[in-house]
Structure 1
């Protein structure tokens, strides 16, 4: 894993487009409104918040990791966060290339993210996903996250902006 670079942009876009098609094929409306788009990914890279998984010198996965407070996470329904911290790592736009699906690399990529940021003394991690995105829920749970409640996201004209919110606090 390494920070994403501008030269990775076309591969990242390809990964995101593949993930969008994969979700659509499953009947999940997540990412079907054009989110995340190239502008968002460029911003991730410019802010040093984009990360790529490298397999055999190829970009195999992408995720954005943002440190701070996510406005969408301020209001949580049907549950509560494990703490009141506003300084945490938010994992967004997590996607794996269709060329590498089925190899358990999503779990390894997530573990790499958690390990890297934990070495930087970040121990509070939050993530959300569409309730019907069973593959992502499996990755999240297999890395020790627990469901904390429901949030609502702003993904352009998302049909369904309800997301299940998860948290992991490493000690």
Structure 2
């Protein structure tokens, strides 16, 4: 799995992948990413800050998208729980999606594994990797646990009123 930093020329492709991801969640009855998140402005900001990436399969076909956001993440100021690492040297994995045309082929596992390896080898400044997902997104919770993350707490109403997200951390 290769990662390629997204540019504004990739904007429509990133939006297409994320909207497809939102549709997949809706089909599974998960009330995550329904409505205006991730927004067009959020994706634009991800690209402008160099946080947005496209995931490429071994044959260089674009299969997914991800954002790797540098700290601080204000949403995490409201954590109900305790971090493994009391640090401001962290990155947050957000907006992970594999397009439905490529689902079920292990790409999500390859993507997160690739991101984690990349951060561990190329980002000496990073002490912690953080991620969160909706309380009903069991597939993502399973993947996060499989990647070695530890559940450290919850967020209540950060993304939408009454929404609960589970928060995880991987100390580097």
Q: Do the structures match in fold with TM over 0.5?
A: yes
Aligned partner of 1:135 in structure 2 is: 139
* 1:7-22 paired onto structure 2 within 5 Å: 7-22=9-24
Cα deviations by residue, 1:3-34 (Å, 9 ceiling, x for unpaired):
11222222211111111111111221111121
Tell me the equivalent position of 1:148. Answer: 152
Does residue 58 of structure 1 match 2:61? yes
The answer to whether the 8 A contact 2:85-2:171 is kept is no
Tell me how far apart the structure 2 counterparts of residues 5 and 139 of structure 1 sit (CA, whole Å).
27
State whether structure 2 residue 65 is matched by structure 1 residue 37.
no
SS of the aligned residue for 1:74 comes to helix
Within 2, Cα distance between the matches of 1:153 and 1:92?
A: 17
* 2:89 match: 87
Q: Equivalents in 2 of 1:153, 1:86: separation in Å?
A: 23
Q: Note the residue ranges of structure 1 that are not aligned, 5 or more in a row.
A: none
Aligned length: 167
- In 2 relative to 1, CA 8–61 (structure 1 residues): closer, same or farther, beyond 3 Å? same
The offset of 1:160, in angstroms, is: 3.7
2-side partners of 1:124 and 1:102: how far apart?
29
Deviation at 1:159, TM superposition (A): 5.0
CA contact (8 A) 1:30 1:160 kept: no
TM-score (norm 1): 0.91
CA contact (8 A) 1:2 1:51 kept: yes
Query: 3-state SS of the aligned residue for 1:118?
Result: helix
For structure 2, list consecutive stretches of 5 or more residues without a partner in the other structure: none
What is the CA-CA distance between 1:61 and the residue it aligns to? Answer: 1.0
Find the counterpart in structure 2 of residue 76 from structure 1. 79
Distance in 2 of aligned mates of 1:6 and 1:58 = 18
How far apart are the structure 2 equivalents of 1:118 and 1:34?
A: 32
When normalised by structure 2's length, the TM-score is 0.90
